[in-house]
Amino acid sequence: MTHRFDPTSLREYDIRGIVGKTLGEEDARAIGRGFATLVRRAGGTRVAVGRDGRVSSEMLEAALVDGLTASGVDVVRVGLGPTPMLYYAEATLEVDGGIQITGSHNPADYNGFKMVLQHKPFFGEQIQQLGKMAADGDWEEGEGTVTDADIEDDYVGRLFAGYAGGTFRIGWDAGNGAAGRVIEKLVKLLPGEHHTLYTDIDGTFPNHHPDPTEEKNLVDLKALVAEKGLDFGLAFDGDGDRVGAIDGEGRVVWGDQLLSILAVPVLRKEPGATIIADVKASQMLYDRIAELGGEPLMWKTGHSLIKTKMKETHAPLAGEMSGHIFFAQDYYGFDDAQYAAVQVINAVHVIGKSMTQIRGEMPAFVNTPEMRFQVDESRKFAVVEEVLDRLEAEGADVNRTDGARVNTPDGWWLLRASNTQDVLVARAEAKDQAGLDRLMAMIDAQLAASGLERGPQAAH
């Protein structure tokens, strides 16, 4: 038996595709065979499996479990829930790895797989290896068993454990994603007054797309917070590993701003600790971490890369602009939007000001959203190298952590190649609009010098 995957489905951090076109039952079975083989060769015997609420998730789960057991691994099914609940299962049950079936925040016809092996993210070369093993039919044979574990209440209890975050009035928008039931149970434990939206898990996402980093998806939450005069609002993506927030006036509190709030209690408990953020984060965040006595570290974008760097530097907290926030202080080091939400409430309480005041006191910068433009897959990394060479020749102040991040008196701009799509990503931030215009002109000049243009579809 051999199997070939659609090459577009084997991505840097996970496996993802359009169900019925680039991803199907046979792919799920082959993933099970390959992953189980790697688990057994590493001396393991059991794998936890979870799934999100997408229409195709049960079908893919059945095929995945079939593949895992056919290669001799025992499966513990933890059922429907957010990706961090599967990560929690992998961290606390007697298992050697975990797989969540999820399309994350992609449209409803997508689905995919996020994997953990022996408490470490499974990504990059390892995902490509599953493809090679399938093409060669390099799979172990065996007969594994299947059991079910109901861990939802344990997980919710773990989210709430040690809560000391005071009493607030909060709006919660689960976006019909996989975290809905967990959020309903969590708010019953939290003191204060809580109003929830779209907690029924529905893989067709009838109300809005479950991606809290796009402001248009926060419209209903803003309306709820305004109508009931709530202190703030929290929102979750389709599989509950990314969090979004708004203050009492409906202003978005972006990923890097949330991190600057969460850093306060973390650094009180662990003075001088390293806190990691990705290259897309505001300079404000790095300055704030330093001001609080922490050690700011700029790192590459990508949840697997950040988790790996956290282990290496013993960082208690890390985050990405995209709303992935990772906790290793009193937690397991993975990205968990539900845990992040509880910690945001705690941080606001510790700071002793309202979320609205905290957000209002943040330094005002003008910045662009993440801009993406198509570029041929074969050119994307080359263009970034060309830009770096030119900047170096000009003597510019450049950080090469992940692409080119350039500091100027106006602020900074970033150009990097996406690891998961054939696009270049750009972002810029300045003290005022005139400065931002100058930064954008620099980006445009660099693209033009490499024969590209930003084009009208850039911003989204």
pLDDT in tens, 253-264: 999 999 999 999
Q: Which has the minimum average pLDDT: 234-238, 370-374, 388-392?
A: 370-374
Asked if residue 456 belongs to a domain, the reply is no
Domains held by the chain: number: 3
Collapsing DSSP states into helix, strand and coil, what is residue 353?
coil
Predicted pLDDT at 459: 39
* Residue 19: CATH number of its domain: 3.40.120.10
Q: How far is CA 421 from CA 12, 274, 373, 381, in A?
A: 10, 30, 10, 12
- For 109-120, what is the mean pLDDT? 96
Q: Which residues contact 174 (CB under 8 A, 6 or more apart)?
A: 180, 183, 196, 197, 198, 199, 210, 235, 236
pLDDT tens digits for 14-47? 999 999 999 999 999 999 999 999 999 999 999 9
> Do 178 and 287 sit in the same domain of this protein?
yes
Predicted pLDDT at 32: 98
> Do 75 and 51 sit in the same domain of this protein?
yes
> Do 208 and 327 sit in the same domain of this protein?
yes
User: 40-61: string of b/e by CB count within 10 Å (b at 16+)?
Assistant: beeebebbbbbbbbbebbebbb
Q: For 270-403, where are the E strands, in sequence order?
A: 274-278, 295-299, 317-319, 325-327, 366-367, 371-374, 397-399
**Per-residue pLDDT at 196 exceeds 80:** yes
> Do 349 and 371 sit in the same domain of this protein?
no
104 is catalytic: yes
**Per-residue pLDDT at 101 exceeds 80:** yes
* Residue 429: CATH number of its domain: 3.30.310.50
Query: Phi-psi category of 404—alpha, beta or left, where left has phi over 0 and alpha has psi -120 to 50?
Result: beta
User: 107-130: string of b/e by CB count within 10 Å (b at 16+)?
Assistant: ebbbbbbbbbbebebbbbebbebb
265: how many CB neighbours lie within 10 A of its CB? Answer: 20
> Do 158 and 136 sit in the same domain of this protein?
no
Which residue has better confidence, 293 or 455? 293
> Do 191 and 338 sit in the same domain of this protein?
yes
**Per-residue pLDDT at 452 exceeds 50:** yes
The catalytically annotated residue of 104, 260, 282, 304 is: 104
> Do 22 and 76 sit in the same domain of this protein?
yes
pLDDT band at 460 (very low <50, low <70, confident <90, very high): very low
- Per the prediction, the chain carries an average pLDDT of 95
> Do 35 and 86 sit in the same domain of this protein?
yes
Range of the domain at 386: 366-449
> Do 299 and 217 sit in the same domain of this protein?
yes
Predicted pLDDT at 456: 56
pTM of the model: 0.94
